[in-house]
Chain A
């Protein structure tokens, strides 16, 4: 075996070794990135659930009526509620 051939073989092995190291590094980085994305996905999923429940709470008839009264909004609350009816309307009729 000539020196040139030996060098070529050595370089080939070295190149293969470096490629393996590089690919292994890439794999690790990709796995870590996948993990991070999965964690983010779950966190966002949970946050969306929490927000959905908060919106649900704010959309309850009680809450809407409270806000209509507090901010004196010119809209009708989702239900008549206690005291909504003008008693005289019925009293006169009966």
Chain B
């Protein structure tokens, strides 16, 4: 819709600018706080302009939080979530859209319902499963009497156990197993004309060949969008790593480390709050997601311009 209404234009711009200010002010304040000394940061009224302590604060925060290995950990987990998510979403949607089998609709709705159950809602059962990933199978086997049957025949007590606590797998899997990406892909796959599927069949391409040669190249922009969203989502995870990782030295994640720097009654013990360090660390932690968004945005804008459709 194109309208020539100068007043409306001004109003919409004002709303945009207002939104920008609301978003940028806290970031600006964080940046300013990160550039001052402990005294300056806690002075009253608060500083509005940057000081000269940025590098010193960054170094201090980096060392205190042991950010080196934690960044590597977080990068591994985030990449794992992105790759796992793209693969899972792609093949699930592929199955749901291009194959016709019994129970397809039921499965579709079951996946759909998980959208309403984010990790935070089902955190207790998810933790139970993470503590022993095979416990659902154990429960099923117990329920149908298979365990006691095996015990009777061979004398072996079946106790399945696969502990995911304190591992990358435990960090990654629960974040992968959600419906978001599946929907993105499903909607995209539904726009693929039937004729294209049929042309591939006539050309002799089987389903997997079609997926690999046609669908995946066509869904590049989808992959970019999903990768961006999932990377930021995984990077910002706090609650789940806090729960499953007790071995913080080996598997700590940056956001959890960051929370240790944020002053509260526990950390300062009544001492002067070290906001300058917390803010410096915040800036560092913020960088990778911002970099990813900027990089991917360029990428899928290019994808949109070159669109062949």
Co-complex (A, B): no
Q: A-contacting residues of B (Cβ < 8 Å)? A: none
**A interface vs B, CB < 8 Å?**
none
